[in-house]
């Protein structure tokens, strides 16, 4: 948890610093430093869901390939006589 908190602090500091350096406005830097991580967190949540779906699909494809290969060479462990 400490690593998460320190990363959040670094993220907010960088966001503030970049916007402040670009605009000279502490208000703009503060707003972006608070808003950007919030949107980034939501985007990350959906990014993880997409990758979970991709991993699930790849697992299904690999299982199908294994079953097909196994039936073609007739060497499936389940088919041992």
Tell the residue number behind the tokens 């699909």, with chain if given. 57
Would you kindly state where each structural domain of the chain is located, as residue ranges? 2-76
* pLDDT, position 81: 47
The tens place of each residue's pLDDT in the chain, 81 residues long, gives: 888 888 889 989 999 999 999 999 999 999 999 999 889 888 989 999 999 988 888 887 777 777 766 666 665 566 544
Cβ atoms within 10 Å of 48's Cβ, excluding its own: 10
* pTM of the predicted structure, to 2 decimals: 0.55
With CA atoms as reference, report the closest residue to 20 among 44, 12, 57. Answer: 12
Give the separation between CA 53 and CA 64, rounded to whole angstroms. 17
């Amino acid at each position: 948890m400490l690593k998460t908190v320190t990363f959040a602090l670094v993220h907010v500091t960088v966001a503030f610093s970049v916007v402040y350096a670009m605009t000279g406005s502490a208000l703009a830097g503060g707003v972006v430093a608070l808003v950007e991580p919030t949107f980034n967190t939501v985007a990350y949540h959906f990014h993880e869901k997409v990758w979970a779906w991709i991993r699930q699909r790849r697992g299904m494809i690999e299982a199908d390939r294994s079953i097909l290969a196994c039936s073609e060479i007739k060497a499936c462990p389940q088919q041992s006589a």
